[in-house]
Amino acid sequence: MVSRDAGTTRLEQLSKNIRIHILEQIYQAGSGHPGGSLSCADILAALYGYGLREGSEKSLPIDRDHVILSKGHAAPALYAALAAVDIIPREELRTLRQLGSRLQGHPDRSRLPQVEMSTGSLGQGLSVGVGLAWRIKTKGRRGRVYVVVGDGELNSGQVWEAIMLAGVLGLSNLVAIVDANEIQNDGPVASILDIRPYGPKFVAFGWAVRELDGHNLAELCDSLDWSRSQEGDAPRMLVAHTIKGRGVSFMEGKAEWHSHALSQEQYELAMEEVSGR
Amino acid sequence: MNATAVSLRDCYGSALPELGARFPGIVVLDADLSSSTRTKGFKQRFPDRYLNVGIAEQNLVGVAAGIALAGEIPLVNTFAAFLTRRACDQIAISVAYPHLNVKFFGFHAGINLGEDGATQQSVEDLAIMRGIPGIRVFSPIDATDLNRTLEEVLTWEGPTYVRLSRFPTRAVSDGEVEVGHDPLAWKVLERGDDLCVFTTGTVTEEVLRATAELRTMGTNCQVVAVTRIKPLAESIRELVTLGNSPIAVVEEHSVFGGLADALAELLDRTRLDHRLHRIGIPDRFGESGPPRQLLEHFKLSGQPLVSELLRASQR
């Protein structure tokens, strides 16, 4: 277990490294999804640097913690986090989206076993988390399952099928984290299928819900602690309010940076900003 | 042919509890159709390894993927129509792409569900499942064949699809059967030089009835049943190239994308001129009607099937 004060500085460095790696990868690849990758950088830093506790790579699947990135287009953020905590080699990041690379445009578990689940067709990851968490809980084991979903992804009916089932099954070892960056492919979430506020809807389906600033690492760690210590069988939902493109001023809050390549000039400017902070 | 008719779903349901004891990893899933999928016996014996997710097939498939990630063997049970049509993307991306050990069972495949009509029938499940990379596809012809299929499905690590039908069928794979080295690859059920008939699934019984009738009329058919539709055994090519008789394919499925197309893909590579006479559902949906009348309507049973096969033999 990491002490909180020492931990926060370490996590700040980790999230900075994740942002740097995200920009490097997408610049090098010439395509990708910077906006939604940067919005979940702090969430992944908190998970990989603080939240994941149980078991190791060698443990049985039911005896360790899991991360499923349901919003698979944020793959560069996941690869960046895995590299930043030395689960995959940093040099490999430069192969993103190249022919033959293990780092596919969206995560591919067959090529890169270090990612827990292949995702990219939105709406599917939470169901997988439900199946995994149900077996772990039924067998009385300690592994926990963290699923990162996008707010745009909540448009998908399958997500709500999974939300209903998790509530009914009482999967207290399942933690869904909504990266609520308020922008999806076609524009603001509010202008497309606005179902906010999310909290009451999750509560209605039997989830314990906490809203937080998804860029505040201390708050993220607190919320992960809460998800672990909370009494009762309700699955846990963290609604992390984030900013699309967070960390790069010209990307922040801009729908056009959902999927966009970086010019050399933009890359240099962006790197200066994320490294400097 | 053995006289007792049994529905493959009953055979599956009664096999489940014993399989559950032999394979402790088996977890059985339903989507509100457990009375049709015959999973009650398993549920009673292994309540901790059973889950009914409700009428939510996309979630059903995703949950199964999660169970496979936990190291267990999920068996996914629902109508072939709802599984393959509604949850196609989940099957492809949450199961086949990561090559997870999920076992799909598609019930009431084909048109023999009868009266319920096109929405519950499935004439394209083989085409859909065959088109998804990495899934092994099986279409057993009777109870014995289903048991063999279950053995292979449960001992092979990876995604599989087993097509089941509701119509009670007689045992056709025992008796005077020449079994190849791998009985799921192909089985010669009858010998004859006038026509080579390939078939799959429980419609095999209808084919054998028709070819018996043809024999009395002096037309002798070779009947070959194929259970493992994908990957299709290369050795089938030798079966075909040995004789020069015309070839018919009978399947309770669309003439697109099923066994006939699988065979055509294989035979294309022989550089021989094999034209297949395709007997199946034309490019249209099924419809309501008593199962046997419906099969006859689509020329998959009775006199219409006899006439089709005779036409094929006269090519």
For the cut 50, the answer to whether the pLDDT of residue A1 exceeds it is no
**Which of A128, A132, A137, A163 to substitute to test the interface with B, most B CBs within 10 Å?**
A128
Mean pLDDT within B115-137: 97
Q: Residues B203, B300: contact at Cβ < 8 Å?
A: yes
The string of pLDDT tens digits covering residues B161-211 is 999 998 888 888 865 455 557 899 999 999 999 999 999 999 999 999 999
- Reading the block at residue B115, the tokens are 């009266």
- Cα(B122)–Cα(B201) distance, integer angstroms: 13
pLDDT at A186: 95
Partner-chain contact A117 B71, CB within 8 Å = no
Q: What is the pLDDT of residue B270?
A: 67
Report the percent of chain B where pLDDT is more than 90.
85
Residue B73 contacts A where some CB pair is shorter than 8 Å: no
**Quick check: B64 and A131 CB within 8 A?**
yes
From the CA of A59, how many Å to the nearest CA of chain B?
11
Q: How far apart are CA B125 and CA B51, in angstroms?
A: 24
| In chain A, residues 59-118 whose CB comes closer than 8 Å to chain B | 60-62, 66, 108-110, 116-118
| Nearest-angstrom CA–CA distance, B102 and B157 | 9
Using a CB-CB distance cutoff of 8 angstroms, which residues of chain A are in contact with residue B99? Answer: 110
Residue A276 — very low, low, confident or very high, per pLDDT cuts 50/70/90? Answer: confident
Per domain, the residue ranges of chain B are 5-169, 171-313
Closest to A261 measured CA to CA, from A99, A77, A86, A23: A23
Q: How far is CA A165 from CA A203, A228, B36, B61, B77, in A?
A: 13, 20, 22, 13, 17
Six token digits for residue A121: 């067709």
Is pLDDT above 90 for B158? yes
CB contact under 8 A, A135 and B66: yes
Determine, for residues B63 and A130 on separate chains, whether the beta-carbon distance falls below 8 Å.
Answer: yes
Q: Residue A83 pLDDT > 80, yes or no?
A: yes
Interchain contact, A131 vs B71, CB within 8 Å: no
> Tens digits of per-residue pLDDT, B216-258?
999 999 999 999 999 999 989 888 766 678 999 999 999 999 9
- CA–CA dist A211, B225 (Å, integer): 59
What's the distance, CA A30 to chain centroid?
22
Cross-chain Cβ contact A126/B71 below 8 Å? no
Average pLDDT of chain B to the nearest whole number = 93
- Nearest Cα to B198, choosing from B148, B124, B125, B259? B259
Take residue B276 and report the two structure tokens written for it. 């297949």
Task: Say what the pLDDT of residue B167 is.
Answer: 84
Pick among B57, B59, B101 to test the A interface (most A CBs inside 10 A): B59
- Residue B1: CB atoms within 10 A of its CB come to 17
Name the CA dihedral angle for B216, B219, B222, B224, rounded to a multiple of 10 degrees.
Answer: -80
Percent of chain A with pLDDT strictly greater than 90? 94
Q: Tell me how far apart the alpha carbons of residues B248 and B237 are, in angstroms, rounded to a whole number.
A: 14
Task: Return the residue in A135, A136, A155, A169 with the most chain B beta carbons within 10 A, the one to mutate for interface testing.
Answer: A135
Nearest residue on chain B to A136, alpha-carbon basis: B70
Closest CA to A239 of A196, A183, A187, A189: A196
Tell me if A124 and B62 make a contact (CB, 8 A cut-off). yes
- How far apart (Å, rounded) are the C-alpha atoms in residues B97 and A250? 36
CATH code for residues B5-169: 3.40.50.970
For A13-29, write each residue's pLDDT tens digit: 999 999 999 999 999 99
Query: What would the pLDDT profile of B39-92 be if each residue is shown by its tens digit?
Result: 999 999 999 999 999 999 999 999 999 999 999 999 999 999 999 999 999 999
CATH 3.30.565.10 fits A4-276, yes or no: no
Nearest Cα residue in chain B from A106: B93
Q: Is the ipTM of this complex over 0.85?
A: yes
Q: Which spans in A55-179 are helix H?
A: 75-84, 125-138, 157-169
Nearest CA to CA, how far is A120 from chain B (Å)? 8
- Whole-angstrom CA distances from A147 to A70, A73, A114, A163, A169 are 6, 14, 15, 12, 17
Q: Judge whether residue A79 has pLDDT over 90.
A: yes
CA distance A121 to chain B (A): 7
- Strand pairing report for B160-163 and B103-107: parallel
Q: Tell whether B69 lies on the interface with A, counting CB pairs under 8 A.
A: yes
Which among A119, A138, A158 has CB closest to B59?
A: A158
Give the model's pLDDT for residue A247.
97
Chain B closest-CA separation from residue A244 CA (Å): 26
Q: List the B247-254 sheet strands across, edge first.
A: B178-179, B187-190, B221-225, B195-199, B247-254, B276-281
Q: Taking CB atoms and an 8 Å limit, are B71 and A61 in contact across chains? A: yes
Domain at B171-313, CATH class: alpha beta
Which chain B residues are Cβ-neighbours of A157 within 8 angstroms? 58
- CA nearest to B134 within chain A: A110
* Cβ contact A117–B99 (<8 Å): no
Q: Given B63, B89, B97, which is nearest A131 (Cβ)?
A: B63
Mean pLDDT of all residues in A83-89? 96
Q: Between A62, A110, A165, which is nearest B71 by CB?
A: A62
